[in-house]
Amino acid sequence: MTTADLFAASQTPRRDEPLGDGAMVLRGFALAEEAPLLQAVAAIAAQAPFRHLVTPGGLRMSVAMTNAGPLGWVSDHRGYRYDPIDPDSGRPWPPLPPAFMRLAVAAAARAGFPGFVPDACLLNRYEPGSRLSLHQDRDERDLGLPIVSVSLGIPAMFRFGGLRRTDPVQRVPLVHGDVVVWGGAARLRFHGVLPLKPNHHEALGECRINLTFRKAG
Ligand code: MD6
Ligand code: FE
């Protein structure tokens, strides 16, 4: 390699960033499906509007949520669970759009989880100031299966800790189009999102939408 080649290589964005065993950021991976993803988010929100759920302890979450797919994640005074019915409408959640399915399956395969097929998509809507406190995802039946997480809209600072709540926490900036896949040894790592800073995105305005795909049932 010449010095010019090395310089060129150093300027080329690295598209896949390992985040430790079992976790990876695929930078910009969702951009190929940007238009159908945004259209599908709007269609889901029209059928099953974003709402602020209440934690089992009675606190209103600052992130607004809705779901698509056969199972949807819900929280209320009784606890956290997956439910096939939207409690606000009494109807099933909207189906998983083809663009969602294509993206989740392709991202999981690229990150080393071929054959992953989700049955649940949780849509999270953040506004400036919204945050998600450090937690583990453990409401799914098979904790051997990965989660695919898609970031759209304004940037966020993701917090990625270890297997114990008190372990050191990494900060990972996530922007529109980034996809994080985690499973295996990373599946029960604590994580959260810092309060969002005010910002503007040309397609989504002052908000961030995060899609998390799981096989819950
Ligand atoms: C978010 N994500 O990025 C929140 N959980 O808005 C999560 O809580 C999450 O990104 C499990 C796996 C991936 C995630
Ligand atoms: Fe989570």
pLDDT at 4: 61
Q: Taking 90 as the threshold, does the pLDDT of residue 5 lie above it?
A: no
Strands 191-193 and 156-160: antiparallel
pLDDT at 15: 84
pLDDT at 114: 96
Query: Would you list the domain boundaries of the chain?
Result: 16-214
**Does 27 score more than 90 pLDDT?**
yes
Q: Name the residue with the closest Cα to ligand 1, atom 14.
A: 149
Q: How does residue 203 score in pLDDT terms, banded at 50, 70 and 90?
A: very high
Q: Is the pLDDT of residue 13 over 90?
A: no
Instruction: Tell me the ligand closest to 120's alpha carbon.
Output: 1
Q: Ligand 1 centroid vs 132 CA: distance in angstroms?
A: 9
- pLDDT-above-90 percentage for the chain: 93
- Please provide the DSSP assignment of 101-131 as one string: HHHHHHHHHHTT-TT---SEEEEEEE-TT--
pLDDT beyond 70 at 1: no
60 is written with which tokens? 């209103």
Q: 132 CB under 6 A from ligand 1? A: yes
Find the farthest-apart pair of alpha carbons in the chain and give their distance in angstroms, rounded. 64
CA triple 36-92-193, angle to 5 deg: 60
Q: How far is CA 88 from the centre of its chain?
A: 22
The residue assigned the tokens 């999981």 is 108
Question: Residue 58 corresponds to which tokens in the numbers above?
Answer: 């009675």
The length of the chain in residues reads: 217
Judged by DSSP in three states, 92 sits in strand
Q: Which of 188, 210, 211, 213 to mutate to test the pocket of ligand 1 (most atoms within 8 A of CB)?
A: 210
Q: Give the per-residue pLDDT at 9.
A: 56
pTM of the model: 0.93
**Residue 215 has what pLDDT?**
97
| 16-214: CATH superfamily | Alpha-ketoglutarate-dependent dioxygenase AlkB-like (2.60.120.590)
**Is the model more confident about 15 or about 68?**
68
Distance (Å, whole) CA 52 – CA 125: 9
